[in-house]
Amino acid sequence: MKKAEKIQAYFMRVDEATGQPYQGYLGEIENTLKAKQFYVNYGREGGLIQAVHLNDDVDIICHDEGKLMKFPFNRVWLAEDGKILDIFAGNILAVRHKGDGFAGILPSDVQEIQRYLFPVVLSEDKNILVLPDALLPEYEEEYSDAGAD
């Protein structure tokens, strides 16, 4: 079976310079390793991606070395009991996993993603602050994976 050339993803961005997270949004991405690397590596080629299973259907794709590279914090992943499972640094996106590859996210998956992932910023005194999604600005630019070919 041929994999889809483009898939729908749920994009969760954070500004690399300011650390400002943005509201998540649905969009399309080329279903290639190169395009996913380009996204999580802030528009630069290369970068190691990691797929983290959020649940039985959804993966979060992040930069495997985002924290080591001191990318700004983006989302905290909380368990049902409120314990922190992980903190994602840099741009991340959510897709469905399908066999050994990825498939497009469903609009109905967004609520599940937002149930576990919460926007965060690092305060001046180095505390992690969780922000309500409604207070986040919308990302104004359209995602482009140009340069990821």
Residue 126's pLDDT is what? 86
Residue pLDDT, tens place only, 23-63 = 999 999 999 999 999 999 999 998 899 999 999 999 999 99
Rounded-to-integer distance, Cα 137 and Cα 30, Å: 25
Q: What is the average pLDDT value for the chain, to the nearest integer? A: 90
Where do the domains of the chain lie?
6-135
Residue 140, class by beta-carbon neighbours within 10 Å (0-12 exposed, 13-18 middle, 19+ buried)? exposed
Residue 116's pLDDT is what? 95
The residue-averaged pLDDT of 130-142 equals 85
Residue 144's pLDDT is what? 54
Residue 143's pLDDT is what? 54
Question: 72-103: buried (b, 16+ CB within 10 Å) or exposed (e) per residue?
Answer: bbbbbbbeeeeeeeebbbbbbbbbbbeeeebb
- Do the Cβ atoms of 27 and 4 come closer than 8 Å? no
The residue-averaged pLDDT of 141-149 equals 55
Q: Which pLDDT band holds residue 99 (cuts at 50, 70, 90)?
A: confident
The residue-averaged pLDDT of 60-69 equals 96
Secondary structure of residue 144 in the 3-state scheme? coil
